[in-house]
Structures are given as structure tokens and as C-alpha cells.
Amino acid sequence: MVNHPNRTTIENTLFPGRPNYTGPAKGWFGFLHHERVCEESHDVNERIDYVKREKPKNEVPIRLHNMIYLGECAAIAKDAAMHADYEAKRDALDAGYEADYEVKSAPLYAGYNAKRAPLYAGYKAKRAALYAGYNAKRDALYAGYKAKRAPLDAGYEAKRAALDAGYEAKRDALDAGYEADYEVKSAPLDAGYNAKRDALYAGYNAKRAPLDADYNAKRAAMRAEILAYIKLHIPDCAWNGKTLVFTSG
């Protein structure tokens, strides 16, 4: 606040929740929300009206008392540059990872498919031959049936049933064998593919971790500067390190 001895009122340029505030309504503010040290607002008056209208009555005085304009806090100027630097470094890392991933994963996946394809092709070839043999026998049986249709209907049905049963038994056995063989052969193939892909992603995370850690450390230091600035202007600030502390109502 600015106190002019020749004026009857105190000019308030820092505390938007207190009387006679003449500071900006747009910009960076502290404690607009009870768990946020600082944030941007396009119109702080909207937040003040909301607090007065919606928050519990015992919280309203503390919330309004602790709101502060941070435009004069030097630490706020660091946020945009620090965040832009982090975004630029992370974008470069992401772009490099995506390009590297595309280059490395394409042959990896192609190799995986190349190994899986003949496994399935072998099964298809065996089944096609089995079905062709079945059709050849059935066609011959049906040709004989057509020639002797009337007296041989009963015999045809009996032979056809036995032929179908034999085909189905062989096909079921082939299917069961293929599924078991496929599971055994594809498991290490899948595991190898996943292990290589996981290692690729782990490398990316290892590169990103120090970048995130450095960014978070800088934000923590900036937050500490902001809190120091706030406490300089609000000595009785109700912040307990995590949230504004409200009196019971």
C-alpha cells in the first residue's frame, strides 16, 4: 500500500481483496486460490466476486486479505523465459525421440512381422492342402452318388458323415497344434520386440528426467522468491506451506 499523509484514504495498489484497491485487474496474483501461491488472471475482480458469493463465510476474510498483486515481484518475470526454455528443450528432446523411435522401430517391427508371417503362412498352407484333399474326396464321392443316386442315397450319407468326421478331426488337430506352436514361437518373439521398444522408451525417459528435474528446481526457487515477496507485504499471511489456513466458522 502507498500512504500519502495529505490524503484521507490509503491508496491500495497491492491487495485486490481489500478496500480501495486501485491496482491492475489483469496479471499475476498470489493466493487467488488457497492452494496456489501464484497464477495469472484476466480479471481478478471475477475471482473476488466468486469468493464473496460462493465460499464459506469463515473463509472469505482470510482469502481476501491474502490476495496480492505480483506485478512488482521480480521473480514473476523469470517464469515465462524459464517455461519457454523448458518447452524448447523438451520439444527438441521429444522430436529427437520420435524421429529416433520411428527409425529404430520400423525395422524392428518389420523383422517381427517377417518372422511371424511364415509361421502363419505354414499353417494356411497345411490347412489349404487338407481342405483340397477333402474336397477332392467329396467330389469323387458325390460324382458316384449322382450316378447311382436313387439306390445309393443311404450309402452316400454314411460315407459322407465318416469323411466329414475324419476331416474335422484332422483339422481340429491341426488347429490345436498350430495354436500351441504359435503361442510357443510368438512368445519370445513378442518379448524381444517389447524389450527393445521398452529400452528405446527408457532412454528417452532418462534424457527427459534431468531436464524435468532442472525445470522443477528452477520453479521451486522462483516459488520461494514469490513467497518471500508475498510475506514481505503480508506478514500475517495464512499460508502454511501447502494451503491457506482458515479459522473455524
- Arithmetic mean of pLDDT, 233-247: 93
pLDDT tens, residue by residue, 117-153: 999 999 999 999 999 999 999 999 999 988 998 885 8
Contact 13, 45 (CB under 8 A): no
Which residue, 67, 71, 69, 70, is CA-closest to 17?
67
Least confident of 6-10, 53-57, 219-223: 6-10
pLDDT band at 213 (very low <50, low <70, confident <90, very high): very high
- Domain extents for the chain? 1-72, 78-225
Q: Find how far residue 90's CA is from the centre of its chain.
A: 16
User: What's the pLDDT at 77?
Assistant: 86
- For the entire predicted model, the pTM comes to 0.56
Which of 102-106, 208-212, 231-235 is least confident? 102-106
| CA distances for 76 relative to 34, 82, 132, 228, angstroms | 19, 10, 79, 12
Report the chain's terminal Cα–Cα distance, integer Å: 29
8 has a pLDDT exceeding 70: no
Please, which residues have CB within 8 angstroms of residue 17's CB and are 6 or more apart in sequence? 48, 51, 63, 64, 65, 66, 67
